[in-house]
A and B are shown apart, each in its own frame.
Chain A
């Protein structure tokens, strides 16, 4: 910035105090993790830092991207690229409940496609979307490693095997009961 010019107003949302503190904590925890003699290796802890933030908040606030970039000597584009490349990372909060149904081959062989359609209708939520009232997010996942006991699902992070339409109905009833 040329000397004397006014500081540029930040573009986009600004990270909260708590979010910045979380980032500082993540950096302090993971930066020393880089093995010795790694040439320019600070980028190698980018994924661990993104995981740390998402584990705590449920998503990675885009407002933290400039701070992450600065801490690791990366460009914002590089951080944004990584954040948006990997399916696991969210840039916005998910619904209060997250139902992820495996759609990979082994679960398809046991009716996972129909199960997803049923869940979409029962929860009034399109696959890959969060319902407008924020109550539930319905997503496909591709393999949870439970291929012998499918269809498999993750319900708010908890693994479920042998999921049936009845399982989905019971979950839906539970979700609706909480939101009313």
Chain B
């Protein structure tokens, strides 16, 4: 090999930061020198604050440069970026000394300290290359599943302890077992790729960086429960992920991995992609089914459970992207290998997403049990603004704000639940001390009012009344604050207890946490008893 090999992500976060401009500048520089350019567009390594992150192969591994702008390329090329000798002799001195050179990607503590299982291939491979996929362990899980009885496959998922990564954390194996046992001539696998929570992007990164992992996970689910039809419901805000998935499915079908017969010898499994249309509540599984059936995304009352009566009335497995994409490794390596990671009843790893006001935002896959403080400071590097971090919302717009007094609680589903917090989909949004929690509480109610499907009264009307009460509480003179606070707490109680789904049922969580932990932002006295700093 006598030329340098480059990787530059095609991930939407890299594209949004100008990756295509960098690629064009690199191509132009190579053309001017009449040099061939071996540039592969990979998924993102997850060090998003360094995007666009260009990697070049050296004998020691991939060296990283970022965040790049197109204007940096000529300087790097002048320092030897296109030298063929990089592949054999490493970076020339001038290039190694460039301020945007970050060292070897996999030696960066941010990356080296992770435990990548579900995201093992993301950023490493060409996302759409079937050869790359097979060369990096792809299809091993499906092959193993096809050699087992369906019941044994379900048993393996049960034993792994895998729980729904979309946020509800329901045991995946139990859901599969219900569908497998449900009577029905046809069954379906639905992938919930309606990743609408602010602060979350792991589904998007997985679909853009390793789409075949999701395809394989869905195929394993299909074989396990006897489903012949699968559909991925992806939000309209993710056009790049959608295009990647459609291409991946076409290629996997043409190559005989799915379609008429799984891996050319198993049962039939057809897989489709359907695009959502900008409705947050369609991330709720029954609203998602309504949308797939061509209706407004109105939440259904449960029972019947989708596992019994789901898409088109068929018994249906609905799982999140990360849940399904975690399955191939569980099958390939065995349930025990996956269950060996984690804490308490939260087994395996979670791809945490560090977002908001953080210096080093990105994706960090770690076993459960890490603390928020480690994530915020050891990985996130503290706030981007340089100001103290005041509040952290974990688990999306419906998750409570976690005050500093709780930052040392190990993150697992039960431990978080015990302090009134939620792990959700693993999104972590940091706010610095300029944030006003009363304003964020009002926003939570306003967002619920915008996105409520309208089926149940506490959510439909409570959200609008909630935004009004927060406003009145903030504006009220001291003598009337208590009355407004009581009203707000009563309203939240009604929404929590009386809403049909998590939209209305959890919107009060951020509101109440703001009220409990940051009362001064509402003009209320801080009670000594809360123990917060």
Contact = CB atoms under 8 A, between A and B. Distances in A.
Contacts of B236: 51, 88
A162 B356 contact: no
B196 A105 contact: no
B353 A147 contact: yes
A14 to B, nearest CB: 25
Interface residues of B, number: 64
A17 B196 CA distance: 37
A87 B294 contact: no
A106 B312 contact: no
Interface string B432-469: 10010000100100010011000000000000000000
Nearest to B188: A35
A109 B429 contact: yes
A107 B196 CA distance: 14
The prevalent SS among residues of B at the interface is mixed
B280 A142 contact: yes
A141 interface: yes
A74 B196 CA distance: 29
Interface string A56-87: 00000000000000001010001001100111
Given A38-B312, A44-B293, A161-B13, A148 B48 contact: yes
Contact of B201 (A35, A39, A85, A147): A147
A87 B277 contact: yes
Contacts of B312: 35, 38-39, 41, 44
Nearest to B20: A158
Most chain-A CB neighbours within 10 Å: which of B186, B199, B450?
Answer: B199
A105 B295 contact: no
B430 to A, nearest CB: 6
B198 A147 contact: yes
A147 B12 CA distance: 11
B509 interface: no
The list of the 7 closest CB pairs from A to B, nearest first, reads A148-B361, A104-B198, A43-B294, A86-B277, A88-B278, A109-B356, A147-B355
Interface of A: 33, 35, 37-39, 41-48, 50-51, 72, 74, 78, 81-82, 85-89, 102, 104-110, 141-150, 152, 157, 159-162
12 contacts: A35-B272, A41-B293, A46-B294, A47-B274, A78-B295, A108-B443, A142-B198, A142-B280, A147-B427, A159-B15, A161-B13, A161-B51
